[in-house]
Amino acid sequence: MPDGAVETSTEAAPAAAGPVEAEWAAAVAAVRAVPADGRVLLICHVNPDGDALGSMLGFGLALRRLGVGRLQATFPGPFEVPETLRGLPGEELLVPAAEAYPDPDLVVCFDAASESRLGDLVDRLATAGTALVLDHHASNTRFGGVNLVEPGAAATSVVVDELLTRLGVPLDAGIAECLYVALTTDTGSFRFEATTPAVHRLAARLLATGIRPGDISRRIFDTRPFGAVRLFGEVLGRARLEPAAAGGRGLVWTYATLDDLARHGQRPYVLEALIDSVRCTAEADVSCVVKQIAPGEWAVSLRSKGAVDVSRVAVALGGGGHRFAAGFTGRGDAEQVVDAIRDQLDAALIDVRR
């Protein structure tokens, strides 16, 4: 945050220290060192969300303004952008992972807490001239050569904005739309705890470029096919409430299979929004959606209202994330996945007396 020195005591204290000056300087130098005809590869995490894609494309547009000629943006796994995130400015930078530069001059990773989130593209960390990591997960393993990791930041786009300021790239409407999508995604449209005065100041600067928040929010959050509406109805209808779980704080969970998706003619990414309906449950602190991605394999979303550090649960089960929003890949059937979660919940209770 450029004006960090004048933050008042009403600001939430960052969860942990962000990058030191030398790291910012090294990141600026790494970008400036790319020759005019150099190749830059931008990578965001598998199964990209609004923060991953928005931060990456916003930074890509800024590099284009800086005159970096050969730019690619990509992500591992199926080359499929969720419908709600299609049409973002800078989307023309996207290439399938198989076409990504094998040995770019610079690689920049977005919103990925660990190498595992880069899938098959992880080899670029070794083949690239320089590897730069931009992220906001407390669990980030600092797998880059230069790491800009700000655990107190509401979204990776906050880190991108700071780097753009230091690079002297002004915001334009294209960059701003991408960063706004990222910021609203990770703050739940400015509802979550990480929504600091600095977040609203950034939002104000983004809106000042003339972007249309109503249109953007409707597209990103409030649009889904009728088949998905029916699918949500079915999957929510089978949700289960376990009041005794998590030391009596309660767990609510549901699952969706590939067969459910097929019956309603839906793609897997439509289920990303489902957790937001499940986590409304008043009687449960912890909420969970178990989404089948292959036979015996499930993408798990976990949320907490504050009594449980769900990142501890996720990390214990091979995943990661934030304190109150985390995920992992589960094995077995849906019941077995939830059994494994239940076993971890008590150990992840946050001691509120501290």
161 near Mn ion, rule: CB under 5 A: no
52 near Mn ion, rule: CB under 5 A: yes
- Interatomic CA distance for residues 225 and 273, integer angstroms: 13
253 contacts 240 by C-beta, under 8 angstroms? yes
What are the strands of the beta sheet with 130-135, ordered from one edge?
70-74, 39-44, 106-110, 130-135, 146-149
In the complex, minimum distance from the CB of residue 71 to ligand AMP, in angstroms, rounded to a whole number: 24
In the complex, minimum distance from the CB of residue 163 to ligand AMP, in angstroms, rounded to a whole number: 20
**Which one-letter DSSP state was computed for residue 170?**
P
Residue 304 binds which entry of Mn ion, ligand AMP, none, with Cβ cut-offs from 5 to 8 Å by kind?
none
If the CB atoms of residues 51 and 150 are measured against Mn ion, the closer one turns out to be 51
264 near ligand AMP, rule: CB under 6 A: no
Number of chain residues interacting with Mn ion (CB under 5 A):
6
Half-sphere exposure of 267 (CA within 13 A, CB side): 12
Distances (CA, A) of 333 to 59, 90, 241, 261: 40, 39, 18, 17
Closest residue to Mn ion, based on beta-carbon distance: 51
Q: ∠ CA 337-342-345 to the nearest 5 degrees?
A: 130
Please give the backbone phi and psi of residue 133, each rounded to the nearest 5 degrees, phi first: -115, 125
* Sign of the dihedral through C-alpha 82, 83, 87, 92: positive
Among 24, 51, 112, 161, binds Mn ion (CB under 5 A): 51
Among 19, 27, 31, 49, binds Mn ion (CB under 5 A): 49
Three-state secondary structure call for residue 127: helix
326 near ligand AMP, rule: CB under 6 A: yes
97: Cβ contacts below 8 Å, ≥ 6 apart: 74, 75, 76, 77, 79, 119, 120, 121
Residue 327 binds which entry of Mn ion, ligand AMP, none, with Cβ cut-offs from 5 to 8 Å by kind?
ligand AMP
Residues 286-325 that bind ligand AMP (CB under 6 A): 301, 319-322, 325
Residue 319 binds which entry of Mn ion, ligand AMP, none, with Cβ cut-offs from 5 to 8 Å by kind?
ligand AMP
In the complex, minimum distance from the CB of residue 313 to ligand AMP, in angstroms, rounded to a whole number: 11
Residues 105-144 that bind ligand AMP (CB under 6 A): 113, 117
If the CB atoms of residues 113 and 158 are measured against ligand AMP, the closer one turns out to be 113
Strands (E) in 257-350, as ranges, are 286-294, 297-304, 320-321, 325-331
* Sign of the dihedral through C-alpha 20, 43, 275, 344: negative
Residue 285 binds which entry of Mn ion, ligand AMP, none, with Cβ cut-offs from 5 to 8 Å by kind?
none
In the complex, minimum distance from the CB of residue 117 to Mn ion, in angstroms, rounded to a whole number: 9
Residues 46-105 that bind ligand AMP (CB under 6 A): none
Among 161, 177, 186, 272, binds Mn ion (CB under 5 A): 186
- Interatomic CA distance for residues 92 and 313, integer angstroms: 38
Closest residue to ligand AMP, based on beta-carbon distance: 327
Residues 230-249 that bind ligand AMP (CB under 6 A): none
111 near Mn ion, rule: CB under 5 A: yes
Paired with 231 in beta bridges are none
Residue 51 binds which entry of ligand AMP, Mn ion, none, with Cβ cut-offs from 5 to 8 Å by kind?
Mn ion
Q: Are strands 106-110 and 39-44 parallel, antiparallel or unpaired?
A: parallel
- Interatomic CA distance for residues 168 and 322, integer angstroms: 30
If the CB atoms of residues 18 and 327 are measured against ligand AMP, the closer one turns out to be 327
In the complex, minimum distance from the CB of residue 327 to ligand AMP, in angstroms, rounded to a whole number: 2
Residues found near ligand AMP in the complex (CB under 6 A): 113, 117, 301, 319-322, 325-329
